[in-house]
Structure 1
Amino acid sequence: MRARTALRVALVAALLLGFGAAPAAAAGPDDVIVTVPGPGGDSGGGDGTIVDAQLRWGLNAESGGGAFAGGCNFLSAGIAGDAGSARVWGENDGLYRAEDGRVRIEKPTAGGQWATASWATRCQDPTGAVVSVASTASTTGNQVVIDGGTGTRRDGTLDIRWSGSFTIVFYGGMTYWSVTDPRLTLDAAGNGQLTASASGYGTSMDDMTKWSPIAAQTIVLADIRAADLSSIGGFTVTPQYLGVLSVGAGQVARSGTNEAYWGSFPQSFVDFHRLTGQQGYWLTTGGARDAAKPASPLTVSYSSAAPVAVPPSAGTGGTPADAPDNPLRRAPGTIAAAAPLQQFLPVAAPLTTQPQAAGLVPESRRGLSPLVGPLLGSAAALGLAIVAVLSMMRAFPWQRRADLP
């Protein structure tokens, strides 16, 4: 009896220590099987294989802000089709999608949760108000979420690839570009890059009939420094923007007035947008929307089933209406004598200018100085006064001929 009891205890001890474990295929229907999460495949922070990572990012506040024409800027799932021209999208065009495979667009709600976006809500902040171009704090807070990322953690380094696409839409669709198959590579210090294939269509404010497909090319979406790879489950990090110098893209000088938001997206990123006409939206140009351009925090979760908690952006109100209050402006048929200077601006021109080469946004050097109007008015008044005095003195040649006998 004692021998049988001792044998049972030994067998139990051996099983607890992992010796003599039966293969999984031999498990009976009444057996209880416990799976211990692996360090990299689920929510751990060690080395291993990652099979279902999640990427969440909104790029920047401008990607969900109000637009000078077309209502707003927004994100769309998948690669948008060819609109045929630089024009504002319509609901029935079939260009907008909230979900596409493992990719979806989410927006924060008034209750502090995340909800899938829709055509109806694409221009609304968390309170339901339409975002306004007048405030850089007014934003929809929309973010792209991509599940199904696969990769590895080796010796503290990280390499994850996602399959899927999303589209960044500005001016309601008058200019847009797409991102396909992002890849994140970080070293053991948490430094690295998020790259992807970028494509789209090129247009120009100078010639809105211009519409040229852009061949896909690999660009750096985000430069990342000091991401916390030791964090369980994933991490949130803000990509480099503040203090980043860009060359040949119209970036204004750093100063005390723009110090808090001066910078740029990666160089290959802004170089790509020389083709789309969007360069001015991805670096500091001296425009009124500069504060909305810095990169937003980016979140990576090692398992989409257990994502890192991301508090939704509160956003601020715009106009409580069902439709945007900043539609495309048209040139007036007639101009009154006392018409304000704004009526002489180009059709759909922003109220502020952002310099770039042959892009969608007009260059600053093309604008009139605010001193030009008053100076021209003063010169005209002085000229009329001189003419009046000379006429009273009968100094004009035709007046002297009339006085001859």
Structure 2
Amino acid sequence: MSRRTRPAGGRRAVLAAAVLAAAVLLGCTVWSGPPATAADDDVVVDVTIPQPEAVRVSDAQLRWGLNEESGAGAFFGGCNFLSAGIAGSTGGARPWTAGDGLYAARAGDVRIEKATSDGGTEPASWATRCLDPAGAPVDVGSTESTTRSEVVVDGGVGTLDLTARSASVRWTGSFTVAFYGGMTYWSATDPVLEVADGSGTLTARLSGYGADRQDPGRWVRLAPRTVTLAVLEDVELTREGLVVLPTYRGVAVDAPAGTVGQTVRDATNSAHWGSFPQDFVDFQGEVGQASYWFTSGGARDRAKPATRLVVSMDARTPVTTPDDDAPGGAPDTSPTPAAPVNEVRERPAAGPRAAATPDDAGVAVPAAQVPAGAGGQSLAAQPSAAPPTRDLLDDLREDPVALSAAAAVALLGAGGGIGLRRGWVVLPWVR
């Protein structure tokens, strides 16, 4: 009986192919030996394993509080706060009221959330916009007193490529940042995240209203423009998303003309010295908030650094952050100055004028310029956390809004019938 025998070379070729096939399935790399020669009967197979292509993102979530100052107490108007949507015009520099209808906790895919005392979050509201996680009014005398509010935007679309360390996601929607109870505010529309090789930006189209400090009665609509909200470095992308602290510390900036300059960096401020992006600060120069976004030497400098930014590639499974990862990032270890004294906030109530009274236009003006139940700062006397380290007027000179507010309170206390009218109070050009 004859038996057909498979050539040895053929058996080796079949075996090599089988091994290579198994290696591909297991994600292994197999060495095929030295290059083949004409005398060898082995088969050399070059296998190229395809790399994963970019993943399509259809419902990404953006979560960011900008900085602690955006949810802190203000020298006038109660507090600084975040609002969903684009706020319309008040017609002048004055705090918002509930009746204005400008505030929104949600608008489309955008919502505002604030921290709770148990470490969670809850929807913000007009009534709670000036309250810290424990339910107490935020205190302008402490840079650690904040609502810890964040803008949350869902519905982001784009691509994620982990191999290229890149991502491109855009959201549809707007939010508004209001300071001094709404005396000065601006809005950001349709944020866009771009990341390439570990670096990136978050941009948006900004709009809002501004005034001229030489003409306090002027109230102008600013031309919308695309501005850099945040510059991102050392971005670690994962399939779930990213958590990154935008650059601020160590960033120098050229202050807009007519505003206070960036203070010199030294041992007392090095831990929190820095700035938001230059084009962002330039825009804020027109709004009236410029020095709130860089180290200006004011009492609120510690609250200005950017807080962490979180992007979840699927809003249904948000990226989790470590419990010990503070919103502000690295702790500030620079010396802690004594708390500033707010002459306006600590001035006693003016007796019978403490109740709301109509101004010349017939509009009711609460004595504290904060809607009832808002949890905002009161003009009534409150104890100071620490004695001042400098003259009270020094802080007021840095803060024209507080100075003008003090004048307003003095007039009301003297029995004058003049209320806070449109454009009457100067915006905070110096902070």
TM-score (norm 1): 0.68
Superposed CA offset, 1:34-78 (max 9, x none):
xxxxxxxxxxx9731000000000000000000010000000000
What residue number does 1:182 align with? 191
Q: Structure 1 residue 283 and structure 2 residue 350: aligned?
A: no
Q: Secondary structure at the match of 2:402?
A: coil
Provide Cα deviations, 1:197-225, integer angstroms capped at 9, x if missing partner.
00000025554322110010010000000
Q: Which residue of 1 aligns with 2:338?
A: none
Q: Where does structure 2 lack aligned partners over 5 or more consecutive residues? A: 1-24, 26-51, 329-344, 346-372, 382-391, 406-425
CA pair 157-112 structure 1, distance change in 2 beyond 3 A: same
1:208 partner SS: strand
> Which runs of 5 or more structure 1 residues have no equivalent in the other structure?
1-16, 18-44, 330-339, 352-358, 365-405
Equivalent position to 1:90, from 97, 103, 125: 97
Aligned to 1:292: 303
The verdict on how the C-alpha distance between 1:308 and 1:248 changes in structure 2, with shifts beyond 3 A counting, is: same
Distance 1:347 1:322, change over 3 A: closer
Aligned to 1:238: 245
Q: Secondary structure at the match of 2:62?
A: strand
How many angstroms apart in 2 are the aligned matches of 1:262 and 1:132? 22
Residue 130 of structure 1 is matched in structure 2 by: 137
Distance 2:166 2:117 in 1: 38
Amino acid at match of 2:185: Y
Asked if the contact 2:248/2:276 (under 8 Å) is kept, the reply is yes
Question: Residues 255 and 290 of structure 2 are in contact (CA less than 8 Å); yes or no, is this contact kept in structure 1?
Answer: no
Structure 2 CA distance for partners of 1:304 and 1:348, relative to 1, 3 Å: same
Amino acid corresponding to residue 207 of structure 2 in structure 1: S
Give the match for residue 193 of structure 1. 201
* 8 Å CA contact 2:74, 2:377 repeated in 1: no
Could you tell me how far apart the structure 2 residues matched to 1:267 and 1:343 are?
26
1:308 is aligned to 2:319: yes
Aligned partner (choices 145, 153, 157) of residue 146 of structure 1: 153
Aligned to 2:281: 270
Task: Give the alignment partner of residue 323 of structure 1, picking from 375, 389, 393.
Answer: 375
Aligned residue among 65, 71, 78 for 1:58: 65
Q: What is the letter of the counterpart of residue 310 of structure 2?
A: T
Alpha-carbon distance change, 327 to 172 in structure 1, aligned in 2, over 3 angstroms: farther
d(CA) in 2 for partners of 1:313 and 1:120?
A: 26
Matches of residues 1-150 of structure 1 in structure 2 within 5 Å? 47-150=54-157
The alpha-carbon distance between structure 1 residues 134 and 108, as it changes in their structure 2 partners (threshold 3 A), is same
| CA deviation after TM superposition for structure 1 residue 192, in Å | 1.1
Please tell me whether residue 225 in structure 1 is matched to residue 233 in structure 2. yes
Q: Does 1:248 align with 2:300?
A: no
Change (3 A) 1:257 1:342: closer
Aligned partners of 2:86 and 2:396: how far apart in 1? 37
Contact 1:200–1:213 at 8 Å: present in 2 too?
Answer: yes
2:402 is equivalent to residue 348 of structure 1: yes
Residue aligned with 1:281, SS: helix
Query: Corresponding residue for 1:31?
Result: none
1:294-340 CA distance string (max 9 Å, x none): 0000000000000112459799xxx9x963234499xxxxxxxxxx8
Task: Check conservation: 2:114, 2:133, Cα contact below 8 A.
Answer: yes
Question: Contact 2:93–2:427 at 8 Å: present in 1 too?
Answer: no
2:128–2:374 contact (8 Å) kept in structure 1? no
Question: CA distance change for structure 1 residues 261 and 313 in 2, over 3 Å: closer, same or farther?
Answer: closer
- Whether contact under 8 Å (1:108, 1:142) holds in the other structure is yes
Instruction: Tell me the amino acid that sits aligned with residue 179 of structure 2.
Output: F
Other structure's SS at 1:209 match: strand
- 1:209 is aligned to 217
Question: Cα–Cα, structure 1 residues 175 and 287, in superposed 2: closer, same or farther, change >3 Å?
Answer: same
Q: 1:204 to 1:70 in 2, by over 3 A?
A: farther
Letter in 1 for 2:63: R
| 3-state SS of paired residue (2:283) | helix
Larger-Rg structure: 1
1:361 maps to which residue? Answer: 428
Could you tell me how far apart the structure 1 residues matched to 2:380 and 2:106 are? 28
Asked if the contact 2:290/2:429 (under 8 Å) is kept, the reply is no
Residues 180 and 251 (structure 1), Cα distance of their counterparts in 2 relative to 1, 3 Å cut: same
Count of residue pairs brought into register by the alignment: 298
Contact 1:176 1:200 in 2 (8 A): yes
Q: CA deviation at 1:253?
A: 1.1
Q: Which of 250-259 and 65-74 deviates more?
A: 250-259
TM-score, scaled to structure 2: 0.64
Query: What whole-Å deviation, never above 9, does each CA across 1:330-376 have from its counterpart, x for those lacking one?
Result: xxxxxxxxxx868996662399xxxxxxx833548xxxxxxxxxxxx
Give the conservation status (yes or no) of the 8 Å contact 1:161–1:181.
Answer: yes
Distance 1:291 1:350 in 2: 25
**Contact (CA 8 Å) 1:87, 1:174: kept in 2 or not?**
yes
Contact 2:284 2:290 in 1 (8 A): yes
CA RMSD, aligned part only?
A: 2.9
Is the contact made by 1:349 and 1:361 (CA closer than 8 Å) also made in structure 2? no
Structure 2 counterpart of 1:309, which letter? T
